[in-house]
Amino acid sequence: MSKKLSLIGIIILHFGKWEVTKDCLDSLLKLKTKNYKYKVLVVDNSRNSNLKKVISSHPAVTKLITPEKNLGFAGGNNLGIEQCKEWMCDYILFLNNDTAVKPSFLDALITAFDQMPELGMAGPVIEHQVRGKTYFDYGGYIIWSKGQARHFNKTTYNSWEEPVIRDFVTGCCMLVPVNVLNTIGGFNESYFLYLEDVELCLRAKKYGYTTALIPESKISHKGSQSATVLTKILYSWRNSLKLSLAYVPGIKKYSAICFNLVFYPLLYLRWTAGDMRRQLKQKGFSAQPDYESSTS
């Protein structure tokens, strides 16, 4: 008797440029699916009525949901979770619309759950560009004294490495069994945008689940295509404080709160100064050059 194929519900939130989402959907058409079945749900947070027919007619899309308002990352994915449960999915893959997947990337993620009974969340290596240089995101860790979520970024990629336990994997691409979500709940909608993936992984740990980065699996990520720098700073500031209050242990909670109360306002001022300098240069004003100091 052949083993029942797992059904994976793939949730993609659309917001921003349709061309970006289309590239992601196109890559899903190349999936090698002999070990599983999948359905694709697109949640259109842009609420662009002109795109409804375009999105729903894409050959990779099983269903399109258009909420009455922008629900953010957390709310949009939670809406998708309910649909995937109606489909009786075994796993849910949260996938950013600005990604492109490899044909066999899901096989290694599914296998990890067969081999690691305590596993609650699994993510692939994320290939991305920073200022023209290629990096590979190997999951994340928490600096508890600062209440900061950081990423293990490498400049080389090795697919033969063993799975490694992390504090979190990015919601850019995260595979979670439905029974885990039934136990711990979905994304915390009070976060709306940014760090809600970190919060979900930390909550899973409280329930006894682990989070793992699976090096055998890899996708590419273009980077945020929909949020402004200011939006990133403001939501990261608010949500870092929420995360610190909820999860940072003991006396480190106070140092984490103090750090975030100072860090993000300074980051905002630095970004504002840089933006003003760029605008002045565009208008033809000269500015003093920046010099980098180095210490040995």
pLDDT (tens digit, 9 = 90+) per residue, 206-232? 999 999 999 999 999 987 655 678 888
Do β-strands 91-95 and 173-177 pair in parallel, antiparallel, or remain unpaired?
antiparallel
Instruction: Give me the pLDDT at residue 294, please.
Output: 36
Left, alpha or beta for 96 (phi > 0: left; psi -120 to 50: alpha)? beta
**Mean pLDDT, range 20-45, rounded to an integer:** 95
pLDDT at 7 over 60: yes
Q: What is the pLDDT of residues 148-174, one digit of tens each?
A: 999 999 999 988 889 999 999 999 999
Over residues 50-103, the pLDDT tens digits come to 899 999 999 999 999 999 899 999 999 999 999 999 999 999 999 999 999 999
Give CA–CA dist 170/138, Å, rounded.
Answer: 9
Supply the pLDDT for residue 31. Answer: 96
- Looking at residue 228, what is its pLDDT? 79
Helices (H) and strands (E) in the chain, counts: 8, 11
Given a cut of 90, is residue 292 above it in pLDDT? no
Single out the residue of 242, 235, 290, 243 nearest to residue 264, CA to CA.
235
Higher-pLDDT residue of 4, 28: 28
Q: In the predicted model, is pLDDT for residue 3 greater than 90?
A: no
- Cα distance between residue 77 and residue 43, in whole Å: 8
Average model confidence (pLDDT) across the chain: 91
Round to whole Å and give the CA distance between 221 and 137.
10
Q: How far apart are CA 22 and CA 54, in angstroms?
A: 10
Q: What is the pLDDT of residue 226?
A: 57
Tell me how far apart the terminal alpha carbons of the chain are, to the nearest angstrom: 66
| Confidence at residue 290, expressed as pLDDT on a 0 to 100 scale | 42
pLDDT digits (tens, 9 = 90+) for 229-250: 888 899 999 999 999 999 999 9
Confidence (pLDDT) at 289: 42
Confidence band for 279, pLDDT divided at 50, 70 and 90: confident
Residue 287 has pLDDT above 60, yes or no: no
Give the pLDDT band of residue 288 (cuts 50, 70, 90): very low
Give pLDDT, residue 53: 93
Rounded mean pLDDT, 247-261: 96
Q: Which one of 3.50.50.60, 3.40.50.12780, 3.40.50.1980, 3.90.550.10 gives the CATH number of domain 6-123+156-220?
A: 3.90.550.10
Please give the pLDDT value at position 118: 97
- pLDDT for 286 equals 46
Could you report the per-residue pLDDT of 95-118, keeping only the tens digit for each? 999 999 999 999 999 999 999 999
- Specify the pLDDT at position 293: 37
